[in-house]
């Protein structure tokens, strides 16, 4: 791929803007040599304004989503994309979230520009487990775990029962819930169906991949080993 197209696809500007940057000498190799539009320098050896390039196409990011941010570019207010470099919004292919967390839910959120990877994670056939830490408004009654695990629970306005889910009771008002699907507001609707209300909700793990000390609002690029962890339970 020509250098101009590579940089434009990574969101560093339009092709015209990237050509200007190249003419001004802002694009170099690691030795400081100015690159030309037709340079064949490997991605990992290119610097833009003395900084390494953003990850190449096929990137997967993990973010610790804070409360108060939404996942769709169509939403109003604070977006999870505001926590990434501005140019990430201009990448081609587009950088998308893998699933969503609502405004009042925090925790593990994945992004990728790899459509095949995205569909593998969200495919019902994959059944990648998602782990949620739940704080409830009222004490648990004791029969929720059996119902959630039954494979027979129905949510209002739906015609297909939920897949079995595992509930670990931590104390009267705190629990850990493991889901193998991702329906709209599923955790909140499950507890509402048994007469309770979710006060706080965090997704702590996707497959075998956890937040592992990542600060709220922080993000990192996943390695191949990290990506494999997501599917470790398949």
114-164, pLDDT tens digit by residue? 999 999 999 988 889 999 999 999 999 999 999 999 999 999 999 999 999
Do 102 and 217 belong to one domain? Answer: yes
Do 94 and 45 belong to one domain? Answer: no
Q: Is position 54 annotated as part of the catalytic site?
A: no
Asked, as a colleague might, if the bond just before 197 is cis with ω within 30 of 0, I would say no
Q: Which of 12-16, 63-67, 125-129, 131-135 has the lowest mean pLDDT?
A: 125-129
Give the pLDDT of residue 73: 77
Could you tell me the pTM of the whole model? 0.93
Do 199 and 218 belong to one domain? Answer: no
Give how many domains the chain has, as a whole number: 3
Maximal C-alpha separation, the chain = 69
Do 104 and 119 belong to one domain? Answer: yes
Calpha distance 137→195 (Å, rounded): 10
Query: Among the options 102, 114, 137, 143, which is catalytic?
Result: 102
Number of Cα atoms under 13 Å in the Cβ half of residue 157: 4
Contact 108/209 with Cβ under 8 angstroms?
A: yes
What's the pLDDT band for 232 if we cut at 50, 70, 90?
A: confident
Contact 61/220 with Cβ under 8 angstroms?
A: yes
Do 111 and 212 belong to one domain? Answer: yes
Give the pLDDT of residue 8: 96
What's the pLDDT band for 233 if we cut at 50, 70, 90?
A: low
Look at the chain and count its residues: 234
Residues of the domain holding 175: 130-206
DSSP 214: P
Contact 120/206 with Cβ under 8 angstroms?
A: no
DSSP 25: T
What's the pLDDT band for 234 if we cut at 50, 70, 90?
A: low
DSSP 3-state of 178: strand
Residue 76 pLDDT exceeds 90: no
């Amino acid at each position: 791929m020509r250098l101009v197209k590579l940089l434009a696809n990574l969101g560093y500007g339009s092709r015209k803007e990237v050509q200007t940057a190249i003419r001004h000498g802002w694009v170099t190799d690691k030795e400081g040599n100015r690159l030309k539009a037709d340079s064949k320098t490997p991605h990992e050896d290119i610097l833009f304004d003395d900084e390494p390039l953003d990850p190449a196409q096929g990137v997967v990011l993990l973010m610790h989503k804070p409360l108060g941010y939404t996942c769709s570019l169509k939403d109003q207010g604070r977006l999870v994309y505001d926590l990434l470099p501005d140019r990430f919004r201009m990448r081609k292919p587009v950088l998308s979230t893998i699933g969503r967390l609502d405004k009042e839910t925090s925790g593990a959120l994945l992004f990728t520009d790899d459509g095949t990877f995205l569909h593998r994670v969200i495919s019902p056939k994959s059944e990648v487990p998602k782990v949620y830490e739940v704080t409830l408004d009222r004490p648990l009654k004791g029969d929720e775990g059996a119902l959630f695990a039954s494979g027979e629970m129905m949510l209002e306005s739906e015609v297909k029962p939920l897949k079995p889910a595992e509930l670990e009771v931590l104390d009267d008002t705190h629990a850990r819930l493991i889901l193998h699907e991702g329906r709209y507001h599923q955790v909140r609707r499950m507890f509402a169906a048994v007469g309770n209300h979710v006060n706080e909700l965090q997704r702590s793990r996707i497959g075998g991949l956890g937040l592992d000390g990542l600060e709220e609002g922080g993000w990192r690029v996943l390695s191949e080993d990290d990506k494999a962890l997501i599917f470790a339970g398949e």
